[in-house]
Amino acid sequence: MCVIQSIKDIEKISLEILKDSKSLDIFPTPIDKIVSYVNLTVSSNVDTSQIHEGYKSKYPDVLLRALGKVRGLLVRKEKKVYLDLNQLDSRKNFVKLHEVGHDVLPWQQKCFDVLDDDDESLNFDTHEEFEAEANFFASVTLFQHDRFTSAINKYPLDIDTSIQLSTLFGASIHATLRRYVEYSNNRCALLVLEKPSRCGALLRNKFQSPSFTNTFGKMGIPNVLDYFAWPFVL
């Protein structure tokens, strides 16, 4: 997992944008208002999940190389965000803010100015770092910094709380569950599994709260959870 060195800088930029766009303490988080504030637009006539022959003469190579492979894409020269339009709206919200992050983080801007907007020229480690930074920006902006932390302390520790908060902030249930666990004062953990098969389920990811880690340490979960040892995956 990539360790983000620029957390404080990202948090500062995010909070300034929320305040200056008058989006702070507005619920659900007004994603399109934020996108508009940073002078980006979201394309509604190009779906990154489908490539049509007619687009090949209309759109730049950097876009065509990525179409069909990503949930979202920022083309800086156009100041435009392209989305997989088949996504749920809650997922689109996160992807929009992810692309906003790529656009507003100044060190990423400078890098892509030098590379002429060609992210394929980035080495693997830098690409992973930039993606992690954009994800962090999207998450902290969508959940409005300490507003989410304050909210989780008002509700009991259960799945229904994450469902309610996902609606409040306009986030997906998956993203809300993850953030809930990572920022909760309770001892809790989250396992994300792939769709179960006849043999069991594949572990996709795992998260645990700081207090859980302090008490129990890191979870030793295998990559494959079979039904006999882990009956809850049924």
- 200-208 and 224-226 strand pairing: antiparallel
Could you give the domains of the chain? 7-144 (1.10.10), 148-226 (no CATH)
- Asked if residue 171 has pLDDT above 60, the reply is yes
DSSP state for residue 69 in the 8-state scheme: T
Residue 75 phi/psi, 5-degree rounding, is -105, 105
**What pLDDT, in 10s, does the model give residues 91-103?**
999 999 999 999 9
**C-alpha distance from residue 188 to each of 77, 160, 183, 192, 214 (Å):** 44, 15, 10, 14, 11
**Closest-CA residue to 28 (of 179, 169, 173, 171):** 169
**C-alpha distance from residue 133 to each of 9, 127, 182 (Å):** 10, 10, 17
**Closest-CA residue to 47 (of 87, 97, 89):** 87
How far is the C-alpha of 220 from the C-alpha of 127, rounded, in Å?
29
Global pTM? 0.85
How far is the C-alpha of 67 from the C-alpha of 81, rounded, in Å?
12
Q: Which residue has the higher pLDDT, 17 or 84?
A: 17
38: tokens are 């940073």
3-state secondary structure of 80: strand
Check if the beta carbon of residue 200 is closer than 8 Å to that of residue 227: yes
**What pLDDT, in 10s, does the model give residues 116-143?**
655 656 688 888 999 999 999 999 999 9
Residue 149: pLDDT band (50, 70, 90) is: very high
Containing 200, the helix (H) or strand (E) segment is strand 200-208
- Asked if residue 32 has pLDDT above 80, the reply is yes
Neighbouring C-beta atoms of residue 217, cutoff 10 Å: 9
Non-local CB neighbours of 229 within 8 Å, separated by 6+ positions: none
Q: What's the whole-number mean pLDDT along residues 20-41?
A: 98
Residue spans of beta strands (DSSP E) within the chain: 41-47, 72-75, 80-83, 189-193, 200-208, 224-226
30: tokens are 């007004």
**Closest-CA residue to 72 (of 89, 103, 47, 54):** 47
